[in-house]
């Protein structure tokens, strides 16, 4: 194994651990919130108030990462390090200015925002949602700047601290719920959310100093990096924000059905985000700077190879995760959330939404990888086109499914829409990569799906035969599922399992 490969593996391992820690703490946060507030009207109001910061973190914040990494990579490849820091500073300063203005407008326009996000809210519930929105809204400043710093660090192949930053955010929220909810109720949760986003930014600042980052207090509106960022921000926001548009539409549609539907859908979506955030995010985060470097140097062969390896890893890891979550949807929700105010009704609603969300997990994961391939070459049009088509599909299917399936129809519509979006992006990438190895990806996908179905059937049979408590049943089924999938992967000769096995053997034997 080469030293470069070893560095990549070590970086992947560290990033995976940090993402895992962040997601585990995210679960603890959700479990604490569920235990204190359940799927009540107050929780629905908080979810609506949290929509804007979460929406912006997942869309605008991620867009900042997508923009800043290729821009700074171009300067780095050309050896212009001081210009690289100046470009980062100019973009940072303008971002701080615009986000502050946006926060003020959000506070003043809270009533309008709540009406748009939850048109079914009225009376005290609408008033509560407005109050929580005004408390949480300033967090977008710290969120946006924190994501921008994440992009700066990622462009220099620094991944661990940015990956840990969401964990610091979750810790702050957990502590405020535990210590303030008895006095401040749901308002304490909103305050903790604001404090959490502050932690998200400030914990990353020391890593900039280690890179000898040089800050420039400049608002040069004619700087080429700022002009490039400004020209790309809107299409990139839309391209990476389609998933959050799905969630916003879910909340709007779900506000017309049974109380607790918004919370059930949100808790279910956060559960599928455990494997997405741990594995898919690790893959996409690691390959993005490399794809940007290959694109900047014109090396299309390595650019295509990096993308292919990323998508193959998505198939190998995410497909069995989706099948496992689908089979174990009820015991998983019962284990993770059913306590306190989160009762059996909440479990049934959340598990139903989770089962339908799993159908789109491959689409969401592959989307995270392939959309970065477009931004590595600064092509923003295909993601916008695919996103528009996906949103139209989502709205039509949500309207069609809601009367028959209730809140369950909304995650089903999301899953179909994201699959359509990802398929379009894969087809359109051939403009940049005409020699894309689709046969390799299709073969890995088919093998992973076959192995996952065998694993799923085995887990289903085991789950139907045992009558242990939820924690024991889930642990046994997950352990059996992992073993069954590994065996099936070897039987189907999935390349990724052989590579992982070789790396593990070298690690334990000390071979480099």
Residue 102 belongs to some domain of the structure: yes
Q: Are residues 102 and 213 in the same domain?
A: yes
Q: Which residue has the higher pLDDT, 441 or 152?
A: 152
Residue 127 belongs to some domain of the structure: yes
pLDDT score at 91: 93
Cα(182)–Cα(184) distance, integer angstroms: 6
Q: Are residues 198 and 158 in the same domain?
A: yes
- Count CB neighbours of 230 within 10 A: 13
Q: Are residues 231 and 90 in the same domain?
A: yes
Last residue of a domain, one of 215, 232, 256: 256
Q: Are residues 267 and 211 in the same domain?
A: no
Kindly state the tokens that stand for 437: 């190895």
Residue 393 belongs to some domain of the structure: no
**Whether the predicted pLDDT of 487 surpasses 80:** yes
Tens-place pLDDT, residues 212-258:
888 898 898 889 889 988 888 888 887 777 777 777 777 777 776 66
Concatenated DSSP letters of 4-24: HHHHHHHHHHHHHHHHHHHHH
Residue identified by tokens 């990438």 is: 429
450 close to 489: Cβ distance less than 8 angstroms: no
Q: Are residues 171 and 64 in the same domain?
A: yes
**Whether the predicted pLDDT of 20 surpasses 50:** yes
Q: Are residues 130 and 269 in the same domain?
A: no
Q: Are residues 270 and 249 in the same domain?
A: no
pTM for the structure as a whole: 0.72
Concatenated DSSP letters of 115-167: HHH-TT--HHHHHHHHHHHHHHTTHHHHHHHHHHHHHHHHHTT--HHHHHHHH
Number of domains composing the chain: 2
Concatenated DSSP letters of 59-97: IIIHHHHHHHHHHHHHHHHTT-HHHHHHHHHHHHHHHHH
Cα(416)–Cα(394) distance, integer angstroms: 8
Length of the chain counted residue by residue: 512
Residue 45 belongs to some domain of the structure: yes
Cα(33)–Cα(493) distance, integer angstroms: 43
Percent of the chain with pLDDT strictly greater than 70: 91
**Whether the predicted pLDDT of 3 surpasses 70:** no
Indicate the average pLDDT of the chain: 81
Mean pLDDT of 170-197: 84
> Could you tell me the sign of the dihedral formed by the alpha carbons of 246, 252, 258, 262, in that order?
positive
Residue 432 belongs to some domain of the structure: yes
- State the residue range of the domain holding 375: 261-379+428-512
Residue 402 belongs to some domain of the structure: no
- Count CB neighbours of 205 within 10 A: 13
Last residue of a domain, one of 224, 256, 288: 256
How far, in Å, are 215, 329, 339, 348 from residue 39 at the CA level? 45, 18, 12, 12
Cα(240)–Cα(236) distance, integer angstroms: 6
**Whether the predicted pLDDT of 463 surpasses 50:** yes
Residue 2 belongs to some domain of the structure: no
Q: How many helices (H) and strands (E) does the chain have?
A: 22, 0
Q: Are residues 100 and 34 in the same domain?
A: yes
pLDDT score at 389: 92
Residue 10 buriedness (CB in 10 A; 0-12 / 13-18 / 19+): exposed
> Could you tell me the sign of the dihedral formed by the alpha carbons of 156, 299, 90, 384, in that order?
negative
Mean pLDDT of 191-202: 90
- 184-188: long-range contacts (C-beta < 8 A, 24 or more apart)? 185/42, 186/37, 186/42, 186/43, 186/45, 186/46, 186/128, 186/132, 187/131, 187/132, 187/135
Mean pLDDT of 491-506: 62
Residue 351 belongs to some domain of the structure: yes
Phi-psi category of residue 157: left, alpha or beta, with phi > 0 → left and psi -120 to 50 → alpha:
left
Predicted confidence band of residue 85 (pLDDT cuts 50, 70, 90): very high
pLDDT score at 419: 92
Q: Are residues 459 and 499 in the same domain?
A: yes
Tens-place pLDDT, residues 334-379:
877 776 667 777 788 888 888 899 999 999 999 988 888 888 877 8
Cα(102)–Cα(403) distance, integer angstroms: 37
Last residue of a domain, one of 256, 281, 298: 256
- Between 5-14, 101-110, 138-147, the lowest mean confidence (pLDDT) is in 5-14
Residues 6+ apart with CB under 8 A from 476: 462, 466, 468
Predicted confidence band of residue 145 (pLDDT cuts 50, 70, 90): very high
Q: Are residues 252 and 318 in the same domain?
A: no
Cα(257)–Cα(2) distance, integer angstroms: 57
Q: Are residues 313 and 239 in the same domain?
A: no
pLDDT score at 204: 93
Q: Are residues 270 and 237 in the same domain?
A: no
């Amino acid at each position: 194994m080469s030293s470069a490969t070893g560095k990549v593996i070590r970086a992947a391992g560290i990033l995976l651990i940090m993402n895992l820690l962040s997601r585990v703490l995210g679960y603890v946060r959700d479990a604490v919130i569920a235990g204190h507030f359940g799927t009540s009207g107050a929780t629905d109001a908080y979810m609506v108030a949290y929509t804007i910061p979460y929406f912006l973190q997942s869309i605008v914040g991620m867009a900042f990462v997508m923009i800043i990494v290729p821009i700074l990579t171009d300067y780095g490849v050309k050896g212009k390090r001081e210009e690289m820091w100046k470009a980062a500073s100019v973009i940072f300063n303008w971002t701080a200015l615009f986000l502050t203005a946006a926060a003020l407008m959000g506070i003043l326009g809270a009533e309008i925002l709540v009406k748009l996000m939850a048109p079914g809210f009225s009376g005290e519930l609408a008033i509560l949602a407005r109050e929580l929105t005004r408390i949480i809204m300033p967090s977008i400043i710290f969120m946006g700047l924190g994501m921008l710093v994440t992009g700066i660090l990622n462009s220099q192949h620094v991944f661990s601290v940015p990956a840990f930053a969401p964990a610091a955010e979750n810790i702050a929220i957990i502590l405020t719920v535990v210590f303030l909810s008895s006095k401040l109720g749901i308002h304490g949760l909103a305050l903790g959310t604001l404090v959490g986003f502050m932690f998200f930014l400030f914990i990353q600042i020391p890593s900039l100093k280690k890179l000898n980052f040089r800050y420039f207090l400049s608002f040069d509106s004619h700087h080429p990096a700022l002009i490039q960022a400004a020209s790309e921000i809107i299409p990139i926001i839309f391209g990476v924000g389609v998933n959050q548009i799905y969630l916003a539409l879910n909340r709007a549609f779900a506000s017309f059905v049974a109380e607790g539907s918004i919370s059930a859908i949100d808790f279910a979506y956060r559960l599928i985000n455990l494997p997405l955030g741990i594995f898919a995010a690790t893959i996409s985060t690691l390959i993005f700077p490399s794809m940007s470097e290959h694109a900047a140097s014109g090396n299309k062969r390595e650019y295509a190879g990096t993308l292919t390896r990323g998508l193959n890893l998505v198939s190998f890891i995410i497909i069995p995760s989706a099948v496992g979550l689908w089979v174990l949807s009820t015991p998983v929700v019962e284990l993770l959330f059913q306590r306190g105010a989160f009762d059996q009704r909440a479990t049934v609603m959340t598990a139903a939404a989770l089962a339908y969300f799993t159908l789109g997990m491959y689409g969401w994961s592959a989307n995270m990888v392939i959309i970065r391939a477009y931004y590595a070459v600064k092509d923003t049009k295909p993601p916008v086109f695919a996103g528009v088509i996906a949103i139209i599909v989502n709205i039509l299917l949500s309207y069609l499914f809601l009367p028959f399936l209730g809140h369950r129809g909304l995650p089903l519509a999301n899953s179909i829409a994201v699959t359509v979006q990802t398929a379009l992006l894969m087809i359109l990438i051939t403009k940049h990569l005409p020699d894309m190895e689709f046969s390799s990806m299709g073969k890995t996908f088919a093998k992973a799906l076959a192995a996952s179905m065998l694993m799923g059937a085995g887990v289903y049979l085991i789950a139907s035969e045992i009558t242990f408590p939820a924690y024991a049943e889930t642990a046994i089924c997950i352990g059996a599922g992992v073993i069954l999938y590994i065996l099936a992967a070897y039987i189907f000769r999935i390349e990724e399992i052989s590579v992982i096995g070789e790396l593990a053997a070298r690690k334990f034997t000390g071979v480099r």
